[in-house]
Amino acid sequence: MASNSRAHSPSDTSTLSWISLICGIVGFFTFGIVLGPVALITGWIAMGKRFNSGNVPAVIGFVLGLIITVLAVVALIGGAAVYGMSI
């Protein structure tokens, strides 16, 4: 009988960590509001929902995703304030 575990295989984790890193880097230049959360989520999943310093691309992607997401939200709030809209 096969076990029904939700653990990711090493190849899945490696793929997710590289996706996180690439989305984090590209998100600084374009589509930060979309790619930031993608980098954040894929990095978190690749790390196993905890900070695992052995998976460097996932940690870097997670941190970049966090920074990009915060900057995108601040830019959206700042843009709304410039145009006199209230959020």
For residue 41, give both structure tokens: 């989520």
pLDDT number for residue 12:
67
pLDDT number for residue 84:
66
pLDDT in tens, 16-75: 999 999 999 999 898 889 999 999 999 999 888 676 667 889 999 999 999 999 999 998
pLDDT number for residue 4:
45
Q: Look-up: residue for tokens 């984090």?
A: 24
pLDDT number for residue 25:
93
Rounded to two decimals, what is the model's pTM?
0.76
User: 3 burial class (0-12, 13-18, 19+ CB within 10 angstroms)?
Assistant: exposed
